[in-house]
Structure 1
């Protein structure tokens, strides 16, 4: 997977600013269900926010890295307990894709 350019990252962050977390990782950590739900959300929306619970910064960073690897997505931005993940959809759905729905924000 090619690394995102600075311009692409900037555009994705602009779109991500308007999004709310769609996946929340709680006290049980990274489970198969969380990975499946994140994969489904990425396939539908391409760009999603995930909220990771927990006070330990390093543990949160590990969970984020494991989730990105398991879903084959890229971390666009991490702020506190929120991470913005991106994965290009094989077939983009204009009704669900946050990149299409919020394209006006990146102009």
Structure 2
């Protein structure tokens, strides 16, 4: 389970603010199919919100610990019935580093430049 610095946690919480929950954990708890779905979502998005239906705070904390341990993810936030989890996708970071700098458009020609 990777450790995040306080600066990283603050940035990830800000990014997660506008997200909607993509996975829900209901009465059946944290089954293998739910873990597989969370893994798929983390691969696709890196940062996800998970809604937990149930009133037990201890269950929510154990779900968060299990998710982070099983999927090698980092817990960003646990607030109310929402869990925010982050796992870096190495493919996305490699693709982002391979992208070249954006091409600049040529300077716009003025009316006078056409007259010469």
- Partner in structure 2 of residue 91 of structure 1: 91
Unaligned runs of 5+ in 2: 94-116
Query: Is the alpha carbon distance of 1:2 and 1:70 closer, same or farther for their aligned partners in structure 2, counting shifts above 3 Å?
Result: closer
- Partner in structure 1 of residue 108 of structure 2: none
Query: Is the alpha carbon distance of 1:36 and 1:8 closer, same or farther for their aligned partners in structure 2, counting shifts above 3 Å?
Result: same
Paired residues in the alignment total 93
CA distance in 2, matches of 1:7, 1:79: 18
Larger radius of gyration: 2
Contact 1:53 1:60 in 2 (8 A): no
After superposition, the C-alpha distances for 1:49-102 in whole angstroms (9 at most, x for unaligned) are: 001111111111111111121111110001011011000002118xxxxxxxxx
After superposition, the C-alpha distances for 1:29-59 in whole angstroms (9 at most, x for unaligned) are: 0001100000000001000000111111111
For residues 6-45 of structure 1, what are the structure 2 equivalents within 5 Å?
6-45=6-45
- Partner in structure 2 of residue 78 of structure 1: 78
CA distance in 2, matches of 1:48, 1:76: 10
Question: 4+ residue stretches of structure 1 with deviation over 2 A?
Answer: none
Unaligned runs of 5+ in 1: 94-107
- Partner in structure 2 of residue 62 of structure 1: 62
Q: TM-score, normalised by structure 1?
A: 0.82
CA distance in 1, matches of 2:42, 2:59: 23
Matched, 1:49 2:53: no
